[in-house]
Structure 1
Amino acid sequence: MNWCIIIPLLVGAICALLGYLLGKILKNEENSGVDVDVWKNKVARLEADLKACKSAKELVPFNAAEAAAIFGKKIKENDLTLIEGIGPKIAELFHNKGINTWKDLSECNVEQCQSILDEGGDRFKIHNPGTWPEQAKMAYEGHWKKLFDWQEELDGGR
């Protein structure tokens, strides 16, 4: 057998195999990069859809006429003093902390409300904010009858 022919054939076969394997590896890296971009685009679209759904859910229209009919007085949108136990001074405390709407208050927990009262001084520490977030949620969601009935049972927010 002539080694002069076998050696180039063997080197050629090894180079062909290495070239094939290298091509596969590089092709997979290119495809995975494309796949990552495709998935990133899909995730971005889904996140945008989710944000749109959340914002649509958050848009609860305020019905002043319905609220006034149930409470027997004019109700201003996001008036924190509508909440049983909150007066103008407490509403001011909450406004100073960036809690300006019924939605904002509904997203607070009782401990956060109590902390705001405590920071306001001794005269506010006696108030009990235990029901305020839930009342605010009812107001924000427009459950006027349910809120009114509950407030009839409450004593200063307790």
Structure 2
Amino acid sequence: MNLENLNIWCWVIPALVGIIAGVLGYLIGKGSNTSVTGNTANINVLETENAKLKTELENCNKKLSAAATLPKTKVTPASLAASVPTADSFDAEAAKAAFGKKIKENDLKIVEGIGPKIEELFHGFGIKTWKDLSKVSTTKCQEVLDSGGSRYRIHDPASWPMQAKMAYKGQWKELVKWQDIHKSGKY
């Protein structure tokens, strides 16, 4: 009787191990399938964005070739001044609509990557407005950061003058879109 019980266990134990292994394999396989699906979705989004950018590029190239066929006109300082957008007045409502919160004029903290302490550093260097910051080189921005000590070394000011220029010109939608695409203010 002892031998018969032993023979049954020789069949039951491998069968249980097989069933448990099968269930675990199924669960693990199902879990990895979701990550493949997620990657496929990311690839589809990137391919769609790439197609849009290619279309934009084609349109720009068409406009460029059309502009090349136009007759040349004499450019004067007065005509240049008329074509360049200016930021004569701050439109708080447009800024609020784009950002979803109240924006104060010349608040350097609107530039992604600049917080209250870094804003104070810029103020100490006489850079108090978006226009001032838009005219500063990246090297000068780094110099301002270095003046604050080693804790500011992690910041990358490469995009700050460009973001400040968008704010100065009142290009709120463009600024928000740029900040959404370039997380943490990096290119």
Using structure 1 for the length normalisation, give the TM-score.
Answer: 0.63
Measure how far apart 1:78 and its partner are.
0.2
Q: Which amino acid aligns with 1:105?
A: L
Match of 2:115 in 1: 87
Using structure 2 for the length normalisation, give the TM-score.
Answer: 0.53
Q: State the Cα deviation string for residues 126-157 of structure 1 (Å, max 9, x = none).
A: 10001000000000000000000001122322
Alignment of 1:138-157 (within 5 A): 138-157=166-185
1:71 to 99, 115, 133: 99
Q: How many residues align?
A: 107
Q: State the Cα deviation string for residues 77-103 of structure 1 (Å, max 9, x = none).
A: 000000000000000000011000000
Backbone CA RMSD of aligned residues: 2.1
Match of 1:129 in 2: 157
Identity across the alignment (%)? 56
Q: State the Cα deviation string for residues 40-92 of structure 1 (Å, max 9, x = none).
A: xxxxxxxxxx9xx7xxx765211000110110000000000000000000000
Unaligned runs of 5+ in 2: 1-77
- Of structures 1 and 2, the one scoring higher in RCO (CA 8 A, sep 6+) is 1
Unaligned runs of 5+ in 1: 1-49
Asked whether the 8 Å contact 1:103–1:140 carries over to 2, the reply is yes
SS in 2 for 1:156: helix
Asked whether the 8 Å contact 2:90–2:105 carries over to 1, the reply is yes
Asked whether the 8 Å contact 2:142–2:157 carries over to 1, the reply is yes
Match of 1:105 in 2: 133
Larger radius of gyration: 1
Q: Which amino acid aligns with 1:73?
A: K
